[in-house]
Amino acid sequence: MDERPIGVFDSGVGGLTVVKEIRAILPTEDIVYFGDTARVPYGNKSIPVIRRFCLEIVNFLETMKVKMIVIACNTASALALDHVRRNTVLPVIGVIDPGVRAALRKAPSVNDREKKIGVIGTRATIKSEAYQKRLKRLDSGCSVFAKPCPLFVPIVEENLSDSIIAEQTLNMYLDEFRSLSLDALILACTHYPLLKKSLDIFFDKKVILIDSAEETALEVAEILKAHRISAPSERNGTDEFYVSDSPESFMLVGSQFLKHPLDKVFLEPVWQRTSEK
Amino acid sequence: MDERPIGVFDSGVGGLTVVKEIRAILPTEDIVYFGDTARVPYGNKSIPVIRRFCLEIVNFLETMKVKMIVIACNTASALALDHVRRNTVLPVIGVIDPGVRAALRKAPSVNDREKKIGVIGTRATIKSEAYQKRLKRLDSGCSVFAKPCPLFVPIVEENLSDSIIAEQTLNMYLDEFRSLSLDALILACTHYPLLKKSLDIFFDKKVILIDSAEETALEVAEILKAHRISAPSERNGTDEFYVSDSPESFMLVGSQFLKHPLDKVFLEPVWQRTSEK
């Protein structure tokens, strides 16, 4: 039994989709979330910069006495997971492996035909080829179709996920995917679960959508069990949120992600800790 | 005569619209540009954070021996212009005053009717009320209609300014403006000049668009003349660009803004200078 909180971080609000799923299946766990809202987005930043930002955040989460770390950001998972693991003794998971494994598990096997997996994400995530390589490593026979969709994040953050603009943007990015008969589509960005409804309409529900947030929460549960660090049952887990800028706008946009109002949002400019050292 | 360069900065690529206009009317001047691409966008950051970032950049431009500073970013002009002026001996201008003065000058006076001025920009710029207050101070009789259009920046950066998505987004944000019979519309974000064509179609060319970039360049020329610090004639001005991250993507997007390829783009993480002090 271990009452320490689970540490979750993202470049901004996107990782809250992961918090939502962890909360759903692990109601007794405490969660400390950090959103790097002063430096969001990570999607167009370079590898050394992203790695530096991640270590600053991990240092902060360590001072909050977390028992494990979830990198709830695809860009950071793609570019900094190994780097973070080398710099902490805590168990660390990203969002990529859970999504990849779920896609291969859930994509139906039809007549020995190779599996066709689509991946959509930010430009940095797709360019890193983290998903493509991981899929190929676990199932060398699968075909992977990857497409950056950079406009989806601002559309979700502007609360336009079900608008005509979202529809047009889906058309622009994914028209070519419609004729591919994909078996599964990995939503390789933590913002994208909010586009599920529009994506289901777009694909006429014929493509299985893989929500990395759900899959990551399942992996968190497994890690807690394997390390014997689950919280005691018969308690209610609490959430605390830290951001590097503007708690107000985080609360506003964040409530769309969690489907309930956020309290306990605190300002924490992590870079000050680093430069003070 | 003064051969020192003009210093121009922005949170990212947007300020290049100002560089383009300065280059057009001041061909003999050297320009040093800084784009804070590691920390873009400023539009949703808090005032203390934006002021701190601006001073870091001004310190850098001072080491580059510039003769004046242009804050080619509406958010930074709205929230940090006075703060920057208090912290440097160089002449400093922002993009707000030039746009405001041009709007009042160019909006036609019809039968003593009050002038109707529209302002569109990022959420932070509109919320700061910098334009609204300045317009009212210079012409207390004018009516001001302000509207944040947060999706325009990613649309411009994704090179979708003339797309169906831009058209739908214009409709969403500015439908109410069409019936207002505006006399002028201030493009209060340095990205927006790239939407001029779409805006002209949207308003059927019936609204005078005020391009802050053009107006700011004219003000730069006046300051140089007033301070007697113009470059000698009969020389060709040069451009140098510094960014805090990813010179490659800056070159790619920046070339759309300047309508020609960019060379001389250098990486300069300004925060390292500050933390080293």
pLDDT of residue A277 exceeding 50: no
User: How big is the CA angle at B95 (ends B93 and B101), to the nearest 5 degrees?
Assistant: 100
3-state secondary structure of B226: helix
Nearest-CA distance A169 → chain B (Å): 7
Give the contacts of A235 (CB within 8 A, at least 6 positions apart): A3, A28
Count of CB atoms situated within 10 Å of the CB of B244: 28
Query: pTM score, two decimals?
Result: 0.86
pLDDT value, residue A274: 59
Q: Which residues of A touch B168 (CB under 8 A)?
A: 164-165, 168
pLDDT value, residue A17: 95
3-state secondary structure of A262: coil
Regarding beta strands A265-267 and B6-10, do their DSSP bridges make them parallel or antiparallel, or are they unpaired? unpaired
pLDDT value, residue B245: 87
Cα dihedral across residues B11, B12, B17, B21: positive or negative: positive
Poorest-pLDDT segment among A104-113, A154-163, B7-16, B222-231: A104-113
- B262-273 burial code (b ≥16 CB/10 A, e <16): beebeebbbbee
* B47-66: average pLDDT: 95
8 Å CB contact between B10 and B39: no
- Cβ–Cβ contact B246 with A under 8 A: yes
d(CA A90, CA B173): 47
pLDDT value, residue A111: 66
How are strands ordered across the β-sheet holding A265-267? Answer: A92-93, A68-71, A6-10, A31-35, A239-243, A265-267
Using alpha carbons, list the distances in angstroms from residue B153 to A81, A132, B224, B259.
30, 30, 31, 18
3-state secondary structure of B208: strand
The closest CB to that of B249, out of A44, A160, A172, belongs to A44
CATH number for the region B96-213 comes to 3.40.50.1860
Mean pLDDT of chain A: 93
Nearest residue to A118 via CA among A230, A246, A206: A206
pLDDT digits (tens, 9 = 90+) for A54-102: 999 999 999 999 999 999 999 999 999 999 999 999 999 999 999 999 9
pLDDT of residue B107 exceeding 50: yes
The closest CB to that of A49, out of B38, B155, B163, belongs to B38
CATH number for the region A6-95+214-276 comes to 3.40.50.1860
Using pLDDT thresholds of 50, 70 and 90, give the confidence band for residue A5.
very high
Q: Which residues on adjacent β-strands are paired with residue B184?
A: B117, B208
> Chain A window 54-83: which residues touch B at a Cβ cutoff of 8 Å?
none
Residue A149 annotated to the active site: no
Topology (CATH level 3) of domain A96-212: Rossmann fold (3.40.50)
pLDDT of residue A231 exceeding 90: yes
Which residues of chain B are in CATH 3.40.50.1860 domains? 6-95+214-276, 96-213
Contact A245 B46 (CB under 8 A): yes
pLDDT value, residue A251: 94
pLDDT digits (tens, 9 = 90+) for A176-186: 999 999 999 99
d(CA A64, CA A8): 11
* B24-53: average pLDDT: 91
Closest alpha carbon within chain B to A249: B44
Q: Tell how far CA B202 is from the center of its chain.
A: 22
Nearest residue to A184 via CA among A106, A109, A130, A121: A106
pLDDT digits (tens, 9 = 90+) for B225-264: 999 999 999 899 999 999 998 898 899 999 989 999 998 9
Which residues of chain A are in CATH 3.40.50.1860 domains? 6-95+214-276, 96-212
Count of CB atoms situated within 10 Å of the CB of B86: 9
pLDDT value, residue B274: 58
pLDDT of residue A21 exceeding 80: yes
d(CA A180, CA B193): 38
* B117-136: average pLDDT: 93
pLDDT of residue A137 exceeding 50: yes
Q: Tell how far CA B95 is from the center of its chain.
A: 5
Residue count (chain B) = 277
pLDDT of residue A213 exceeding 90: yes
pLDDT digits (tens, 9 = 90+) for A187-202: 999 999 999 999 999 9
Burial class of residue A129 in the structure, from the number of CB atoms within 10 Å of its CB (0-12 exposed, 13-18 middle, 19+ buried): middle
Q: Which residues of B touch A249 (CB under 8 A)?
A: 44
